[in-house]
Amino acid sequence: MSARANLPVRKESVERVIAAPSEVIFDLVADPRRHRDFDGSGTVRSMVSGPDRLSLGARFGMSMRMGVPYRISNVVVEFEEGRKIAWRHFGRHVWRYELESRDGGKSTLVRETFDWSHALFPPALELMGVPAKNRAAMEATLERLDNLVAGGNGSDVRGT
Full residue range of the structural domain in which residue 121 is found = 9-157
State the pLDDT at residue 26.
Answer: 97
Alpha-carbon distances of 105 from 20, 78, 117, 157, rounded to whole Å: 8, 23, 32, 18
**What pLDDT score does 153 carry?**
65
Annotate the chain with three-state secondary structure. CCCHHHCCCCEEEEEEEECCCHHHHHHHHCCHHHHHHHCCCCCEEEEEECCCCCCCCCEEEEEEEECEEEEEEEEEEEEECCCEEEEECCCCCEEEEEEEEEHHHCEEEEEEEEECCCCCCHHHHHHCCHHHHHHHHHHHHHHHHHHHHHCCCCEEECCC
Residue 91 has pLDDT above 50, yes or no: yes
Does 2 map to a domain? no
CATH code at position 64: 3.30.530.20
The predicted-structure confidence for 38-72, as pLDDT tens digits, reads as follows 999 988 999 899 999 999 999 999 999 988 999 99
In a domain, 81, yes or no: yes
Question: For 16-37, how does the pLDDT look when each residue is reduced to its tens digit (9 = 90+)?
Answer: 999 999 999 999 999 999 999 9
Residue at 142 is within a domain: yes
- The total domain count for the chain is 1
> For residue 61, is it within any domain?
yes
